């Protein structure tokens, strides 16, 4: 029974956690840190429900061993926005009705966040590619695309009023 | 609290290749080498507890670079698919490899999955394998006993089987730099664009002679059509030394169809793969033809 202790920064908080070498990051996040916004769907990296941002990259937390995240900086859905104020991407998802059962939503929002950070004005094709690692079985994706476009417009107009996609 | 994982013996994450080799030498088959984990953790998803120890390569910085010099490129085994896709050098010299990396999985998979992992996993459908063979790649295998360099084509011996010994580590991939008159085409066929295991892949690389009319060298490599990624060598004798403009694309496509040995599986039947192989070979030759003409 060999336990090991890892340290990571999750949603801007430093945490020390006792775990094992064969614990998945997903289980550490959900069962040890009680951050249950991160979901388990397929457990094989195909559905994206377990998506988190690790060291500034989108990853499927079901395909990361907990000790592989030792020293990492991680953002989960709980680290987006705060109790008083939603992130503009979350707001856009609510407004466009891009949330139905909600199971894919945390992963979708993190993928959308990463996409818009790297590419503030994505085309339809770029949006599709950006969320290609996230499955949604309710919405048919159209409202999710609408939400991402809306968020892109708002974020870029905050950046300096370049909301040209509205035209 | 619900406990789904069983504690295991150990986890090593050395910073130096030498330390990793010592650990491998000591533990041999008892230890699992892990890079990105995007294949390995799926293979073990229901039985992680079976793994005695992990050797994680994440801290070995020298395995994470793409180094280009005058004659060749060396890609570290821990270079991710995202790195391959975004590297300007890979785009310029090895566009087929760059495009194949961009077609793998999803952003989440490309950010973690590595070139070394794709090679060592040795799936007949491994997306990078046909492109690597088409660019005449060699693999650098290290152990405490020293270094061995093997051509890609000798490395794969069956589905998920390679010549890699338990005490050996794949550390790098060596690619000769192609000439300016080299043209490549990558085609991946699958049921959807993202997160799909290929039904069939083709990496075709053609180098023109100095007259820019005659074919000097050609490699026609396919995935998902045989127990390992393969090159159709018969294409060489039909193309090398011939004028590109006089090639019979249909005949070349037929050779590819005849020389592959695909199986029926959930991704496609043998017959389907044979038909598609011929067609994508013709398409690839047409694409290379138009790239060559606009380059002239």
Q: What is the pLDDT of residues B157-215, one digit of tens each?
A: 999 999 999 999 999 999 999 999 999 999 999 988 898 999 999 999 999 999 999 99
**DSSP-based three-state secondary structure for B12:** strand
The SS3 of residue B157 is strand
A63–chain B Cβ distance below 8 A for any pair: yes
- Angle, to 10 degrees, between the axis of helix B249-259 and the axis of helix B270-295? 140
Beta carbons within 8 Å of A142's beta carbon, 6+ residues apart: none
ipTM over 0.85: yes
Interface check for A1 against chain B (CB to CB < 8 A): the answer is yes
**Could B38 and A45 be called an inter-chain contact, meaning their C-beta atoms sit closer than 8 Å?**
yes
Q: What is the fold, at CATH topology level, of the domain defined by B10-56?
A: 3.30.43
Q: What's the pLDDT at B8?
A: 44
Closest residue on chain A to B9 (Cα)? A2
**Domain architecture of chain A: domains with CATH:** 4-79 (3.10.20.30), 88-160 (1.10.150.120)
Which CATH fold would you assign to the domain B61-176? Answer: 3.30.465
For residue A159, what pLDDT band results from cuts at 50, 70 and 90? low
> What separation, in Å, do the N-terminal and C-terminal C-alpha atoms of chain A show?
62
Relative to beta strand B10-12, strand B31-34 is: unpaired
* pLDDT exceeds 80 at position A107: yes
Average pLDDT rounded to a whole number, residues A112-139: 97
The number of angstroms, rounded, from the C-alpha of B90 to the middle of its chain's C-alpha atoms is 14
Q: Which of A110, A102, A91 is nearest to A151 (CA)?
A: A91
Q: Is the pLDDT of residue B296 over 70?
A: yes
Distance between B11 CA and the closest CA of chain A, angstroms:
6
Q: How many CB atoms lie within 10 A of CB A131?
A: 30
Least confident piece of the model among A9-13, B49-53, B84-88: B49-53
Tokens of B111: 């950010």
Say what the pLDDT of residue B192 is.
87
Chain B residues whose CB is inside 8 A of the A23 CB are: 5
Q: Is B59 on the interface with A (CB under 8 A)?
A: no
Averaged pLDDT for residues A115-140: 97
CA B233, B237, B242, B247 torsion-angle sign: negative
CB A111 within 8 A of CB A48: yes
Q: Where are the domains of chain B?
A: 10-56, 61-176, 182-295
Fold of domain B182-295: Enolase-like; domain 1 (3.30.390)
- The pLDDT-based confidence of B9 (bands split at 50, 70, 90) is low
What pLDDT is attached to residue B257? 97
Q: What does the pLDDT read at residue B50?
A: 87
Contact at CB, B51 and A31, closer than 8 angstroms: no
Tokens read off for B162: 């390679």
For B126-154, the pLDDT digits (tens) are 999 999 999 999 999 999 999 999 999 99
Of B13, B49, B56, the CB nearest to A22: B49
CA separation for the pair A25, B40 (Å, rounded) = 15
Q: How far apart are CA A82 and CA B152, in angstroms?
A: 51
Q: Please tell me the predicted confidence (pLDDT) of residue B127.
A: 97
Chain B contact set for A133 (CB, 8 A): 105-109, 194-195
* Residues sharing a CB contact under 8 Å with residue B184, sequence separation 6 or more, in sequence order: B94, B95, B96, B131, B134, B203, B204, B205, B206, B288
């Amino acid at each position: 029974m060999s336990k090991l202790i890892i340290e990571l920064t999750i949603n801007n908080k430093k945490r020390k956690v006792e775990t094992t070498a064969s614990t998945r990051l997903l289980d550490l996040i959900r069962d040890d840190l009680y951050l249950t916004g991160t979901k388990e769907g397929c457990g094989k990296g195909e559905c994206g429900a377990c998506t988190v941002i690790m060291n500034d990259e989108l990853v499927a937390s079901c395909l990361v061993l907990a000790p592989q995240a030792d020293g990492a900086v991680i953002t989960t859905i709980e680290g987006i926005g705060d109790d008083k104020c939603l992130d503009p991407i979350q707001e856009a998802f609510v407004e466009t009705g891009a949330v139905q059962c909600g199971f894919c939503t945390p992963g979708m929002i993190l993928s959308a966040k990463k996409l818009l950070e790297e590419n503030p004005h994505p085309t339809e094709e770029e949006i599709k590619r950006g969320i290609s690692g996230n499955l949604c079985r309710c919405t048919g994706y159209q409202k999710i695309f609408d939400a991402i476009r809306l968020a892109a417009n708002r974020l870029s107009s905050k950046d300096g009023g370049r909301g040209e996609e509205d035209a | 609290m619900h406990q789904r994982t069983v504690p295991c013996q150990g986890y090593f994450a050395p910073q130096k290749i030498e330390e990793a080799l010592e650990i491998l030498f000591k533990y041999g088959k008892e230890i699992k080498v892990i890079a990105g984990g995007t294949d390995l953790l799926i293979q073990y998803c229901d039985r992680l507890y079976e793994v005695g120890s992990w050797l994680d390569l994440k801290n070995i910085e020298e395995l994470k670079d793409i180094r280009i010099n005058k004659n060749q490129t060396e890609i570290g085994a821990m270079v991710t698919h995202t790195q391959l896709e975004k590297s300007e050098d890979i785009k310029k010299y090895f566009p087929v490899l760059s495009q194949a990396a961009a077609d793998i999985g999803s952003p989440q998979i490309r950010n973690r999955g590595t070139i070394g992992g794709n090679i060592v996993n040795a799936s007949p459908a491994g997306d990078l394998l046909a492109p690597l063979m088409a660019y005449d790649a060699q693999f650098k295998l290290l152990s405490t006993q020293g270094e061995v360099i093997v051509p890609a084509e000798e490395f794969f011996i069956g589905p998920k089987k390679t010549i890699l010994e338990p005490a050996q580590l794949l550390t790098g991939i060596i690619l000769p730099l192609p000439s300016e008159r080299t043209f490549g085409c990558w085609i991946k066929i699958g049921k959807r664009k993202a997160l799909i295991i290929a039904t069939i892949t083709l990496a075709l690389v053609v180098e023109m002679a100095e007259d820019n009319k005659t074919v000097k060298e050609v490699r026609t490599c396919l995935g998902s059509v045989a127990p390992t990624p393969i090159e159709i060598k018969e294409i060489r004798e039909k193309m090398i030394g011939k004028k590109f403009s006089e090639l019979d694309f249909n005949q070349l496509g037929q050779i590819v169809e005849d020389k592959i040995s695909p199986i029926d599986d959930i991704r496609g039947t043998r017959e389907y793969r044979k038909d598609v192989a011929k067609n994508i070979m013709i398409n690839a030759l047409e694409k290379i033809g138009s790239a060559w003409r606009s380059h002239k």
